[in-house]
Amino acid sequence: MHQAGNHDLPLVPGYVLDRVLGEGGMGHVYLGTSPSGRAVAVKVIRAEVAGDPAFRSRFRQEVDAARQVSGAFTAPVIDADPDAPTPWMVTQYIAGPPLDQRVKAGPPLRAEELRQLAGGLAEALRDIHRAGIVHRDLKPSNVLLADDGPRVIDFGIVRAAEPHVRTQTGIVVGTPPFMSPEQIRAARDIGPASDVFSFGSVMVYAASGHAPFPASDLYTVAYQLVHDEPDLSDVPDWLRSVVVRCLAKEPAGRPTATELLALLPARAEPPQKRPEPDPQPQPPLYVPTDPVPPGPDTTLPGLRKRRVLVAIAAVVATATLTSAVLYGMLQDRSGGAGGKGGSGSGTVSAPVSASASASAAARPPGAGSYAATQSGGSAYTYAYADGADRRPKGWRAWSGAASKPLGRNSTCVYAQASLLCVGDATVRIDAATGKSLWTRASITAYGQNSPAVVGDTAIVNTGDAIRGLSLKTGEDLWSYRTSILTQRLTTDGRNVYVAEHSGRVHAVDARSGTWRWTALPGSANTSQYPPSIRSFGGKVYLFSGKDPDDGGGPEDLLTVLDAGSGEHVAEYGLKPGCVMGSEALLTEGGRTVIYCVVTNSEETRTGVLRRVLGAGGASSTTWLGGSWGSGQVGAAELSVSRGRAYLAASDGADWSVVAVDTTKRTELWSAPVPGAKAVDTPPIHAGGRLYLAYNGGGASFDASSGDRLWYHKPQAVGTDPWETSSDTEPLVAGGVIFLPEPQGGWMSLDAARQEKP
């Protein structure tokens, strides 16, 4: 510690703390300087609060989620260490008064000021919602008026330490009078529509100087929010028509943040400096405030989802199970079967060796044809047949496709010689040329939702609606709206399935959008995230969990439903619990088999669980040899075929592809991944090859031996390789690989060439 005035300043690695900006029950906020000389706000949690495991867990999860938010109108997280003895977080330092102080100083905002505020807030909410985050506490004090436009702060990291309305269970849900009716009703699931309601209230306040429900006491405000009409008498006409829609009592009646941007009038000119009010004491600059334990979160961070999931779901992955025997046969990596890979020369697109077994027309054992949904099929094996007939006609290598509309993070599926991609927009890309065939700028990604294609219908989940579009033109075909946010979109070609945080699953017809059924797991899902959905053999499999914070150890529950009716078929416990999102299903010997990644209780070893379902079904775990999984921060999803599992694993320093014989419970081979600093996707087993994408580069390996066959040097690593390593798996068609680029958009390369090293 060092001193500033009468206050001891803590030591935060890499930052110099200058003075105290503010303090609260959870910690202090300091003005600091980064190594580059940048002014930053540094939040340091109090030691007594840091000792609470539940608080630390929430703080860690919220930091991970908030890092996904980026945009011109938010205050980004620059650095954080939620696992430090005294947790801390660094955000951009915003020099500007909060909106409430500006309005109190008078006069209320007018004309272009209001337009700039409305556009900036709507864009900020769009960016926040795209990242799978719901603000839940948008209010004037959380809006800063910087010279170059407004900034929304405290989006999922910190909450103000001031009076809040609480539910009967004591969970903080918002701050009157800018809450939504569903927050007043203490609804469990608060979605993006709640933020839109708060947006309307904030805009009324900015335009009139008072809230839309301006009662003097809290209880009257609460009643008005649910039952009365807002006071919009001082709101200009152009804004009133928008605010009326935002303040609809029911969430389904409000526009989304993206739709809100379209409703608002375009800005006539770039943001200018706000006019100075009458001379007043300088209002304090922005000070991040204290976090409070949030209520149940309905969202799953969708971008960087796999890295976030392993950091959190490793706890879930050690869940209880009553019917499996946990044992493994360790094999030293240095003494395993061949396949240590090639030279790692680093030459762009330089194949290392040719292998007869890496036929371009092979089918992984037990794998089917590619289906245009995440992982190439609703069973999530990340394995499918590939042959020359799938190669796009007239294909040539290309890069930078749709980088501007899609943004830095997007996910795609392959269908009809094209890529259907969702990110900051929905785009169809010609697989042969990389040219955009059509773009829907207003249909954006939400949370963990990959697109899908069934026949001529492109399917996208925006969180509050499943949208069916014409694959040919991009025009709307149908829409199925949900009152609660959904994620985990997958399709089996007949139905489309999505899940709520509560565990409830919706099934709709993939071609018409007609509701089929809604069902719940056999027991309540109390984990942080919606259940994983798998569809296989006419049944739907829901993998849900129990959060350790709810008492006892984490527990995985597998519920089996009939895909046609949604009726309950069976229920199983899984032990050890699966790493969330790693579950896959196969048929072996006429029986359904589950594969998934597991970790030991110390999270220092990684294994593969194989569980045969049904009466007398055996269960076994193959632990990877050596130190695979030690310190691993990327999710180890599997590529699975009969008796085999493949995954990318780290020993804390280097990355390798590892092959496992799940019948003999042995590690077959491991091959180093050249130039890899962070691998965030499973291998794709297409034909006889395994394909990996990482840091804008990629490699392929012979699936039987581990010999490296092709390599494309990573484009960028940077100081944080995870920021340039996409968590979207590559696509393969006829030996052509499609993979995301670090700067945004997609590229396509020939990974089937068999040139000399």
Question: Would you state the pLDDT for residue 270?
Answer: 39
- Its sign, for the CA torsion 395, 398, 402, 408, is positive
Six-digit token pair at 87? 């947790």
Question: Would you state the pLDDT for residue 149?
Answer: 85
Euclidean distance between CA atoms 441 and 485, whole angstroms:
20
Which of 127, 137, 424, 727 is labelled catalytic?
Answer: 137
Six-digit token pair at 649? 């694993």
Q: Is-contact 555 319, C-beta < 8 A?
A: yes
With residue 31 as reference, give the H or E element that holds it: strand 27-33
Six-digit token pair at 309? 């999931």
CA of 651: how far to CAs of 296, 346, 605, 670, 722, in Å? 34, 21, 9, 12, 16
170: alpha, beta or left, given left = phi > 0 and alpha = psi -120 to 50? left
Six-digit token pair at 347? 């030459």
Euclidean distance between CA atoms 475 and 438, whole angstroms:
10
pLDDT one-digit tens code per residue, 37-71: 888 888 888 887 788 777 787 777 667 766 777 56
CA of 32: how far to CAs of 16, 42, 73, 284, 322, in Å? 5, 6, 22, 16, 52
Euclidean distance between CA atoms 112 and 8, whole angstroms:
44
Q: Is-contact 192 246, C-beta < 8 A?
A: no
Is 137 tagged catalytic? Answer: yes
pTM: predicted TM-score of the whole model, two decimal places: 0.57
2-299 and 311-750: identical CATH topology: no
Q: Is-contact 461 431, C-beta < 8 A?
A: no
Of the candidates 453, 384, 354, 211, which has an alpha carbon nearest to the alpha carbon of residue 705? 354
Candidates 3.40.630.30, 1.10.510.10, 3.30.310.50, 3.40.47.10; CATH matching 2-299: 1.10.510.10
Euclidean distance between CA atoms 586 and 596, whole angstroms:
11
Domain ranges of the chain: 2-299, 311-750
Six-digit token pair at 611? 């569980």
Q: Is-contact 53 61, C-beta < 8 A?
A: no
**SS3 labels along 612-658:** ECCCCCCEEEEECCCCCCCCCCCCCCCEEECCEEEEEEECCCCEEEE
3-state DSSP assignment of residue 122: helix
Half-sphere exposure of 287 (CA within 13 A, CB side): 18
Euclidean distance between CA atoms 540 and 570, whole angstroms:
11
User: 333-337, long-range: CB within 8 Å, 24+ apart, which pairs?
Assistant: 333/625, 333/626, 333/628, 333/667, 333/670, 334/626, 336/625, 336/667, 336/668, 336/669, 336/670, 337/668, 337/669
The neighbour count for residue 652, using CB atoms within 10 Å, is 12
Q: Which CATH superfamily, name and number, covers 311-750?
A: YVTN repeat-like/Quinoprotein amine dehydrogenase (2.130.10.10)
Six-digit token pair at 103? 């309005």
Q: Which residues, given as ranges, of the chain have pLDDT below 50? A: 2-6, 156-173, 268-361, 547-554, 630-633, 635, 717, 719, 721-722, 754-757
Euclidean distance between CA atoms 261 and 271, whole angstroms:
16
With residue 8 as reference, give the H or E element that holds it: strand 7-9
603: alpha, beta or left, given left = phi > 0 and alpha = psi -120 to 50? left
> What is the DSSP secondary structure assignment for residue 753, as one 8-state letter?
-
Question: Would you state the pLDDT for residue 626?
Answer: 54
Question: Which residues lie across from 656 on neighbouring strands?
Answer: 649, 672
By DSSP bridging, strand 568-574 and strand 555-562 are antiparallel
